[in-house]
Structure 1
Amino acid sequence: MILKAHSFRKLIALFAILLFSFSTISAQDDKQKSDFWEHVRFGGGLGLSTGNKVFSATLSPSAIYDFDSQFSLGLGLSGTYYSQKNIAKSTIIGGSIISLYNPIKEIQLSGEFEQNRVSRNFDNPDITDDSYWTPAFFVGAGYRTNNITIGVRYDLLYDENKSIYANAWAPFIRVYF
């Protein structure tokens, strides 16, 4: 079958329209992708503690998405290694969902659900090693200046027998860039 000249022009025109449409959609997708990353901030925490026969190190990166100037939502990971010489070693791996709300620029309210896997190995053979999951649900408030917030949070699910924290109240310093 031979294409007539006007059919060929229609085919070229249709191809050009489709190509233009796809490039426009692609350009919009690129704009949306770059716009997304403009609202993402990264932060987290580092911890290091040493003492008489005790060592502890924590790394907890996180990322949040700013929906607007008041509300942010994000995810975090955490890992902790703890060792007390001749007593026990512990590894804690976890993740969290973080929500931040700023009713005014200087005040930040937070909610954070955290789930941690704890593995404890005791040096005393009379104590059984164990592994278990432990949740925490923190509500907190802090004073915010630029990208730093200093405050206190409370674990609503605190269990003194299973929690990885010393008590339900915990001060914090939160930094996001």
Structure 2
Amino acid sequence: MKKHNFLIVSKSNLIVIILLFSGTLLAQSQAMTSNQPDNFWRNVQFGGGVGLSIGSGYTDISVSPSAIYNINPIVAVGTAFQFGYVSSKNYYTSNIYGASLIGLINPIPEIQLSTELEEINVNTDYKSIDGNNSSSFWNTSLYLGAGYRSGNVTIGVRYNVLFDKNKSYYNDPFMPFVRVYF
């Protein structure tokens, strides 16, 4: 008799548990299908940077659009693309293009820590008395950065841990930055 009562109680508990979980799973499934696009795009921000430097016979123009996905208020991940043109009159012209993977951490709202893996292709044409020469190479950089954040703007500095003065496109491992995301 006790074994029979145990089976009845176990079956009753099992039915209650199945009904509870099926209701919860159904509600989650409906929420995911009806709100999934809205929730995804609410967490996406677009931004990037634009640079212009013009001097006596020197021009440097860069455009770097980017997008990040805010996983939560503390962590975001994203990607960026980079396009650039550099010219020094009568010396050289360079065209640069590439992409980056970005990771951002905001331990507190005002502080932003970042890591960025950048891969760029550099195509340079040199002008000299002996004629014109060309070079093309890929440059990999891994930046660790920190900045002060106010609203959608972060100002800071980043450091290229893979910097090699003989192989790097950039002259210095430290690079200031301004990030803007909308």
Partner of 1:175: 180
Amino acid at match of 1:155: N
Partner of 1:149: 154
Provide Cα deviations, 1:119-170, integer angstroms capped at 9, x if missing partner. Answer: 0101124563110001000001111111111111100011223322220011
For 1:67-78, list aligned pairs within 5 A. 67-78=71-82
CA distance in 2, matches of 1:26, 1:121: 58
2:168 to 156, 163, 166: 163
Residue 44 of structure 2 is aligned to residue 40 of structure 1: yes
Deviation at 1:30, TM superposition (A): 4.8
Q: How does the TM-score come out when normalised to structure 1? A: 0.82
Partner of 1:4: none
1:121 to 118, 125, 145: 125
Partner of 2:21: none
Provide Cα deviations, 1:51-107, integer angstroms capped at 9, x if missing partner. Answer: 111111000000000000000000000001011111101001010000000111111
Provide Cα deviations, 1:4-49, integer angstroms capped at 9, x if missing partner. Answer: xxxxxxxxxxxxxxxxxxxxx7984352012100000011000011
Partner of 1:51: 55
SS of 1:129's partner is: strand
Q: How does the TM-score come out when normalised to structure 2? A: 0.79
Of the structure 1 ranges 66-75 and 27-36, higher mean CA displacement relative to structure 2 is found in 27-36
Alignment check: 8 A CA contact 2:45 2:181 kept: yes
Aligned length: 153
Partner of 1:29: 33
Q: Percent identity?
A: 44
Runs of 4+ residues deviating >4 angstroms: 25-28
User: CA 1:29–1:50 in 2, change beyond 3 Å: closer, same or farther?
Assistant: same
**Where does the alignment leave 5 or more consecutive residues of structure 2 unmatched?**
1-28
CA RMSD in angstroms, aligned pairs only: 1.6
Alignment check: 8 A CA contact 2:145 2:157 kept: yes
